Structure 1
Amino acid sequence: MRSLAKELQCVRRGRPARGLRRHGSRQEVAVGACEQGICASGPDLRADPSRTGRGDPHRAPGSARRHDQPDRCSDQRRLRACQGLFQQSGRQREPGNDPARSAKSVRIPAQRAWQADQHSHHAATAFHLRRVARAWGPDVEADQGSIGDLRSDRPARRRLSLSIGKTWRRVDGVLLLDKPTGMTSNSALQAARRLFSAAKAGHTGTLDPLASGLLPLCFGEATKFAVDLLAADKTYEAELQFGARTATGDVDGLVVERCPVNFRLADLEAALPRFRGTVRQIPPMYSALKRDGKPLYELARQGLEVDREAREVTIHELTLLDFSAGRCRLRVTCSKGTYIRSLAEDLGKALASLAHLTALRRLAAGPLAVSDAVTLEQLAALADEDRRCWLLAPDRLLQSLPPVYLDDADALRFVHGNPVRSSGLPGKCRVYGGHRLLGLGERNEQGSLRPRRIVASA
């Protein structure tokens, strides 16, 4: 990157510089070593007769076309290409001219920039070259990810910045996000990932766009333990509307059937106990479950409905919080794979009625609670250092597992993938070397502790 800035400075001093090549949208400006006489300098991209051979056939013997001077020929082409760009981008606005027209006059047409790019075969580097928006205003700082800027020696010249996009970095930790309603889980993940500039990220369980609440996000090494939280119990607060059934089982779908609400509060309370404990539940058609490699929701959007096998799920808690005007609020703590939409429809059938889900909020996932979560708006308003304070250690996802502490010799063997001796009950455990997390291990009945997932920094 330093060498690139030095080469561009050489153009100002009249020395040859290696070419640049443009990649990107047609709104970007192309700089390149112009082969065959095509150059981006001046108002017209005219061919040099001495290069194209379309001019005077009786050119001088010392023409740049000679093959015994390839280096000199290519250096001159690169020099003219770079000087042409600075000439176009640095043209001053003349007094009395229309600002919009002046701004337009310094723009290199996209077609000419493309032509220059097509013939820049000797370009050694590929960067995005763009103009800063405020052309004649005060200095504008380059955005994050730029490798520098080219300051002109004249105050009225347009500043340029070479941008290589956002810089991603390694970030390790867990973020408890309070997802808003109307946003997909992946959209929330990508928004948080950009705020932290995290190179690697994932979430620990999808929330429907209708749902809000706790969405644990994993960055870096914490993604290795995301699958363990997927199997954890979840707690929700759900709102149900009786008397109508929708195609999707929630308020986002079209109403396909209606009926009067004839039951009372006592009937609802009497129906709840049959849904506590282990129950069999048929997944909805609008779900991510697959049939013959295709998600069920794709088949449902085509108007198709296939048979789904009932699955066993466990509902640990089902508490009625409120009931009025054909609506009720429930607090549900359930196992992995439980669909609250299916629970709402099954509860409506048990009351000889219909029901669908109108609101859903996740309150907890395993040991993690929404009271410790942060919203995207709060994160965006914080400085970078303050934002990182919301990241939790990766072992927060493993708090339900017993800890195992190893000495230095066993810790070294463990991080190299070798089993070590350990006393205790068989099963999974989180392994530490001193106070440093080494990874996830599993102990068998013979007392052999084998590594399952290793932290890269261990």
Structure 2
Amino acid sequence: MNDVPPVEQAPVPVPPAMRRADTPRPPRGAPRPDRPKKRDVSGWVILDKGVGMTSTHAVAVVKRAFNAKKAGHAGTLDPLASGILPIALGEATKTVPFVMDGRKAYRFTVAWGVETDTDDAEGRPVATSEARPAREAVEAALPAFVGAIEQVPPRYSAIKIQGERAYDLARDGEVVELAARPVQIDRLAVAEHHGDHTVIEAECGKGTYVRALARDLGRMLGCYGHVSALRRTRVGPFSEAEACDVAALEAGGPDGNGAHLRPVETALDAIASVAVSRDMALRLMRGQPVILRGRDAPVEGKIFATCGGILVAVGDVERGELVPHRVFHLGGTSAGRMA
């Protein structure tokens, strides 16, 4: 049998003189008919991401659903995990750090008896045990992981080691040694227990790895364990109650998805706000500080300023002066319209 593949002939270019005269030529730089012009869309979409989808793909799906110019997510969610993935569009991308610094809530399943090199179900087993913990033993162990603790991240994580991601080094066969990092875990509770696996609910701060928590819990109980299912139920101010899935976005289309868009300032509900005049708003939008007057004006701390109910800036108040660090252009408070 001949294993040599057939040679594909390259298409012969048609000389300009042979083109049909009635074929219209689109003007140079004009968008293609099948690519509608991107829109200036600003706000938050609280996506309920399904298992198997990467966070990067989720951002692309939401961006396409709104035909938006700019998008980004607030906190990666592993492909094996489902749940809340807040996605920022347009000016909302400037508030991503506030969401990422917020508290998070998870519901996850620990499968007992096997520890894997990834600390989840995708990994290769590295330790096994026939022992299985009782519910009472799991509940008794949880308090050791509540509060401010030191946690060693999984070897397969996005943490950088000398400029390279830990998961890239681990996949290349290198021995990855990660130092323990301080994390805050506010709550752990057993939701279900079924002998060979336990469902646990967690509330924690930024940088906490649920996979590492399952690994360390299994080691403490002497039976090993890994995460077999994981769902994120809250990120900062965003919860499952206001989330939408990919199917809903695809059904709505760019003009029908407005109901799934949350205001930009929704991400800022953990900090105070202050209303400013139009003149003050214009100064803030130029990056200039303003003096906050009035008996109730804050004198210190981080706040966001609005004008006519529209977000203008986020900054710090220092001795009664608001210094802007992020300014927003949301239409109604643009310099041209306010002048």
TM-score, normalised to structure 2, is 0.88
Q: Which SS does the other structure have where 1:357 is aligned?
A: strand
Match of 1:434 among 308, 311, 323: 308
User: How much has 1:210 moved relative to structure 2?
Assistant: 0.7
Higher fraction of strand: 2
CA distance in 2, matches of 1:262, 1:346: 15
User: How much has 1:127 moved relative to structure 2?
Assistant: 7.5
- CA change 1:433–1:328 in 2 (3 A) is same
Match of 1:386 among 256, 264, 273: 256
CA distance in 2, matches of 1:218, 1:435: 20
1:257 and 2:132 matched: no
CA distance in 2, matches of 1:392, 1:263: 43
CA distance in 2, matches of 1:262, 1:210: 24
C-alpha distance after superposition, 1:231-272 (max 9, x if no partner): 111000011001001111001112222111243222111111
1:185 and 2:52 matched: no
Match of 2:139 among 256, 262, 269: 269
Match of 1:372 among 226, 230, 242: 242
C-alpha distance after superposition, 1:110-163 (max 9, x if no partner): xxxxxxxxxxxxx995579xxxxxxxxxxxxxxxx655xxxxxxxxxxxxxxx5
- Structure showing greater radius of gyration is 1
CA distance in 2, matches of 1:200, 1:350: 45
C-alpha distance after superposition, 1:334-387 (max 9, x if no partner): 000000000000101110120000011110011110121000011111244321
Structure 2 residue identity aligned to 1:451:
P
Structure 2 residue identity aligned to 1:434:
G
CA distance in 1, matches of 2:188, 2:329: 41
CA distance in 1, matches of 2:26, 2:226: 61
1:452 and 2:325 matched: yes
CA contact (8 A) 1:261 1:326 kept: no
- CA change 1:308–1:363 in 2 (3 A) is same
CA contact (8 A) 1:229 1:365 kept: yes
C-alpha distance after superposition, 1:409-436 (max 9, x if no partner): 3222222211111231522111111311
- Structure 2: runs of 5+ lacking an equivalent: 1-9, 334-339
- CA change 1:371–1:124 in 2 (3 A) is closer
Higher RCO structure (Cα 8 Å, ≥6 apart) = 2
CA distance in 2, matches of 1:124, 1:187: 31
Match of 1:219 among 89, 113, 125: 89
Structure 2 residue identity aligned to 1:428:
K
CA contact (8 A) 2:132 2:196 kept: no
- CA change 1:238–1:124 in 2 (3 A) is closer
CA distance in 1, matches of 2:102, 2:29: 46
User: How much has 1:273 moved relative to structure 2?
Assistant: 0.8
C-alpha distance after superposition, 1:315-334 (max 9, x if no partner): 00101101112210111000
Q: Tell me which residue corresponds to 1:296.
A: 166
CA distance in 2, matches of 1:345, 1:334: 17
- Structure 1: runs of 5+ lacking an equivalent: 1-25, 41-80, 87-122, 129-144, 148-162
Residue identity over aligned pairs, in percent, reads 35
CA distance in 1, matches of 2:26, 2:237: 53
CA contact (8 A) 2:103 2:236 kept: yes
CA contact (8 A) 1:31 1:82 kept: no
Aligned residues: 318
Q: Which SS does the other structure have where 1:389 is aligned?
A: helix
Q: Tell me which residue corresponds to 2:117.
A: 247
Structure 1 residue identity aligned to 2:266:
R
TM-score, normalised to structure 1, is 0.66
C-alpha distance after superposition, 1:178-219 (max 9, x if no partner): 000011000011011111111100010100001110111111
Q: Tell me which residue corresponds to 2:38.
A: 168
User: How much has 1:455 moved relative to structure 2?
Assistant: 0.5
1:315 and 2:185 matched: yes
Structure 1 residue identity aligned to 2:219:
K
1:361 and 2:234 matched: no
CA distance in 1, matches of 2:40, 2:164: 34
Q: Tell me which residue corresponds to 1:328.
A: 198
- CA change 1:303–1:439 in 2 (3 A) is same
